[in-house]
Amino acid sequence: MERKKRHYPNFPGVVGWIYGGNLNFERVLFLLHRITGLALIFYLFAHIIVVGFRAYSPQMWEMVMGRISGHANPVILFFEWLLVLAVIFHMFNGMRLIFLELGFFVGKPSRPVYPYRTSIDRQRIFTWIMMILASIFVIWSIFAFFMGGGSHA
């Protein structure tokens, strides 16, 4: 039987962002940056809708906030905290990307002598510094949210 030959497409598509294979740490940061960026946009819309209730009446606003603010509901408090984590990560990784994508800390072209040194090795330390700074803010957020250390209490 005659059968038309065809290529198998083999395009990972969006799955490739999530599972790239046995690949590098910076790719995980890329994925997290994309997820947190999209989460922030999603939150922005939700935020506009919720804050929009103010336009109706003070009572309406009080009622809505009474139901869905973190003061009222520990589950929502937890999600608010996740949002803060997303902001912290997106901000520090975003600053990292701004520097690196403008060619800072990636090093200069050099003679390709084995074992090759690449921009991955050169920018790692900067990446770790940014991630450590982000972690400090994360620790602060745990105090502020769950231990009564911040204005939230």
Partner 1 sequence: MGYDMGKPVKKVKFRVFRYDPERDDKPHYSEYTIEAWKGMSVLDALNEIKADQDPTLSWRQSCRMGVCGSCAMVINGKPALACQTQVLKLDTDVITIEPLKSFPVIKDLAPDLQNLFRHHTHVKPYIIRENEEELTEEEPTEEFLQSPEELEAFLQFSYCIKCGACVSACPVSQSDPEFYGPQALAQAFRYISDTRDEGEEIRYAIVDNPQGCWRCHFAQSCTFVCPKGVDPAMAIQYLKRDLVLMSLGMKKEKKRAQKAPLGAPTDKVPEKYIPPEFTIAKPE
Angle between the N-to-C axes of helices 74-101 and 119-146, in degrees from 0 to 180, rounded to the nearest 10: 160
| Cβ atoms 90, 36 nearer than 8 A | yes
Interface with partner 1, residue 24, by CB under 8 A? yes
Interface with partner 1, residue 100, by CB under 8 A? yes
**Minimal distance in Å, beta carbon 5 to ligand HEM?**
37
Task: Quote the CA–CA distance of 90 and 83 in Å, as a whole number.
Answer: 10
Burial (CB < 10 A; 0-12, 13-18, 19+), residue 96, is buried
Interface with partner 1, residue 131, by CB under 8 A? no
Interface with ligand HEM, residue 37, by CB under 6 A? yes
Interface with ligand HEM, residue 63, by CB under 6 A? no
Q: How many CA atoms lie within 13 A of 146 on its CB side?
A: 14
DSSP secondary structure string, 31-59? HHHHHHHHHHHHHHHHHHHHHHGGGT-HH
Nearer to ligand HEM, 40 or 106 (CB): 40
Binds partner 1 by CB under 8 A, chosen from 45, 55, 75, 112? 112
DSSP 144: H
User: Which residue ranges make up the site for ligand HEM (CB under 6 A)?
Assistant: 33-34, 37-38, 40-41, 44, 90-91, 94-95, 97-98, 101
Which residues form the interface with partner 1 (CB under 8 A)?
A: 3, 5-14, 16-17, 20-24, 26-27, 29-31, 33-34, 97, 100-103, 106-107, 109-112, 114, 116-120
